[in-house]
Amino acid sequence: MLQVYNTASRKLENFKPQNDNKVKLYTCGPTVYNFLHIGNWFSYVQWDILVRVLKLNGYDVERVMNITDVGHLVSDADEGEDKLQKGARREHKTAWEVADFYIADFKNGIKDLNLIYPDHLPRATDFIVEQLELIRILKDKGYTYQVNDGIYFDTAKFPNYAKFAHLNIDQQRAGARVAFNENKKSITDFALWKFTKTGEKRDMEWETPEDLLDNKHSGVMGFPGWHIECSAIALHYLGPTLDIHTGGIDHIPIHHTNEIAQSECATGKTFANYWLHCNYLKVDGTKISKSLNNGYTLQDLKSRGYTPLDFKMFALQSNYRNESSFTFDNLEAAKNRLNHWKNIALLRFQSDNNIKTDISTIQKKVIEAINNDLNTPGALSVIEEEIGKIENSDSINGSLITDLFLLIDNVFGLNILESTADISSDDKALIEQRRVARNNKNWERADQIRQELADKNIKLNDKNNQITIWSIL
């Protein structure tokens, strides 16, 4: 049975969806004002594993991931510049053009990392009507108030506001966790809808409906706060109660706490039954930050000779709840591990038998490991043990190797079978010529053929006098 650590209860729980067969899953998606850094991608790799594990357990998963293309301000206090506007100024484009560019890049990253594509990947700007309707419901129920810069949620009217994140609101002070807007009733109140500043023209803004305004004044332009989009989108696709909501641990005290408050006040129902949060990925033991210039992107890794799947292997070597540290030495080790696995997969083309072997026991061990709160390091250890048995075997069973790597690709999405191809018949003929040369003690010709194949990135390994296996350099 799948067990997950539920942030809401702070304990490991057996997973049981509302429906026996279907899982409603929501993942907080990217803010598309720049390239995602490896810390972002680390969490998306972990949530891809969650989807794969749910499917392995027989569940039909409906997954929603939002794309934030408006409303995410640089401050958690609903202050400062919209990140899309900031990106537009940096690149001398409109906010719409910036969003389009980085959405395309995000989708390419999903493909490059071989992540399962979400069933729904909506933009926040496509759900303005739904966000305004949710604000309208909250206003009608008495949970909102208006100040000079927007419409806010009154957290004092939601008694359980502090419960999820275990907040001590009495100890929060202006300028501590976030800068305090003196117009708000409480430091924890948050913006549902922000008004465009007087004299300002934004790339992304919409007219505020008159019935949401206290003075019923038309022509007031505005834009949604960051938190309201996730609730509106999740409720639209998945209904009032989600089975699982995922995100980063930095979302717990503000973003997810605010999602819970506005959603549950609007619907009167529990917003999500299970909350899973990914811990930080640090770089060389230090938090990723612009000032340290350590927010490496997938493009940066590619420029240094690493593939996105090398990074994915790196990410799989850590459990999502543990704080992890990225170094290029660690990435190099992950790359070597992945290449080693690929060369083991290539043995399927060099099989001296194809006896059908039942790998259900191996599969059971892998699923048991990964069902323990997505324990990918434990599952990788099971695979390593089986690979070791293949390496130490006196014969090569192509059927066993194929079935093992089908399992690996299904569980981890490493795309090993598709990315490993047989060598040409001409190259196989050269290997046979070399075998004959060695049998005839023509070492010069044997060495010449070895080098000729090495020039084609084909490495030969003589296991004994009778067997030579090849791999890709």
The per-residue DSSP string of 357-426 comes to: ---HHHHHHHHHHHTBTS-HHHHHHHHHHHHHHHHH-SS-BHHHHHHHHHHHHHHH---HHHH--PPPHH
Cα atoms found within 13 Å of the Cα of residue 357, Cβ hemisphere only: 18
Residue 454 has pLDDT above 80, yes or no: yes
* Domain boundary pick from 379, 397, 419: 419
Q: What is the mean pLDDT of residues 400-416?
A: 97
Least confident of 9-18, 106-115, 194-203: 194-203
Please give the Cα distance from 217 to 205 (Å, whole number). Answer: 16
Burial class (CB in 10 A: 0-12, 13-18, 19+), 267: middle
Please report the sign of the dihedral spanned by the C-alpha atoms of residue 426, residue 431, residue 434, residue 436: negative
Residue 77 and residue 210 in one domain? yes
* Domain boundary pick from 278, 312, 346: 278
- Domain CATH for 28: 3.40.50.620
Q: Give the pLDDT confidence score for residue 171 in this predicted structure.
A: 66
Least confident of 62-76, 120-134, 292-306: 62-76
Cα-based torsion angle of the residue sequence 399, 401, 404, 406 in order, rounded to the nearest 10 degrees: -80
* Residue 81: closest CA among 71, 96, 69: 71
Beta 324-326 vs 221-224: how paired, if at all?
A: unpaired
Least confident of 146-160, 248-262, 314-328, 453-467: 453-467
Which residues share a beta bridge with 153?
144, 190
Per-residue pLDDT tens over the stretch 187-240: 999 999 999 998 889 999 999 999 999 987 778 999 999 999 999 999 999 999
Greater confidence (173 vs 14) lies with 14
Greater confidence (296 vs 215) lies with 296
Residue 133 belongs to some domain of the structure = yes
Q: What is the residue range of 390's domain?
A: 298-419
Residue 240 and residue 308 in one domain? no
Amino acid at 32: V
Q: Give the pLDDT confidence score for residue 74 in this predicted structure.
A: 79
Domain count, the chain: 3
Return the CA Rg of the chain: 27
Residue 274 has pLDDT above 70, yes or no: yes
Q: What is the mean pLDDT of residues 135-142?
A: 98
* Domain boundary pick from 278, 308, 341: 278
Please give the Cα distance from 240 to 268 (Å, whole number). Answer: 9
CB atoms within 10 A of CB 202: 18
Residue 268 and residue 374 in one domain? no
Please give the Cα distance from 359 to 1 (Å, whole number). Answer: 20
Residue 291 belongs to some domain of the structure = no
Residue 99 and residue 58 in one domain? yes
- Band the pLDDT of 172: cuts 50, 70, 90: low
Angle between helices 257-267 and 226-238 (to 10 degrees): 50
> CA of 135: how far to CAs of 141, 208, 231, 282, 453, in Å?
10, 11, 11, 37, 67
Residue 293 has pLDDT above 60, yes or no: yes
Residue 195 and residue 250 in one domain? yes
Residue 449 belongs to some domain of the structure = yes
Return mean pLDDT, the chain.
93
Residue 14 and residue 111 in one domain? yes
Q: Give the pLDDT confidence score for residue 173 in this predicted structure.
A: 46
- Band the pLDDT of 395: cuts 50, 70, 90: confident
Residue 293 belongs to some domain of the structure = no
Residue 447 belongs to some domain of the structure = yes
Q: Give the pLDDT confidence score for residue 167 in this predicted structure.
A: 86
Residue 217 and residue 312 in one domain? no
Residue 169 has pLDDT above 80, yes or no: no
Q: Give the pLDDT confidence score for residue 174 in this predicted structure.
A: 46
Q: What is the mean pLDDT of residues 392-401?
A: 91
Q: What is the mean pLDDT of residues 313-318?
A: 98
- What is the model's pTM? 0.94
Residue 342 and residue 467 in one domain? no
Burial class (CB in 10 A: 0-12, 13-18, 19+), 200: exposed
Residue 138 and residue 257 in one domain? yes
Cα-based torsion angle of the residue sequence 286, 291, 292, 294 in order, rounded to the nearest 10 degrees: 90
Residue 141 belongs to some domain of the structure = yes
Residue 124 and residue 158 in one domain? yes
Residue 429 and residue 415 in one domain? no
Residue 77 and residue 118 in one domain? yes
Residue 179 belongs to some domain of the structure = yes
Residue 284 belongs to some domain of the structure = no
Please give the Cα distance from 324 to 83 (Å, whole number). Answer: 27
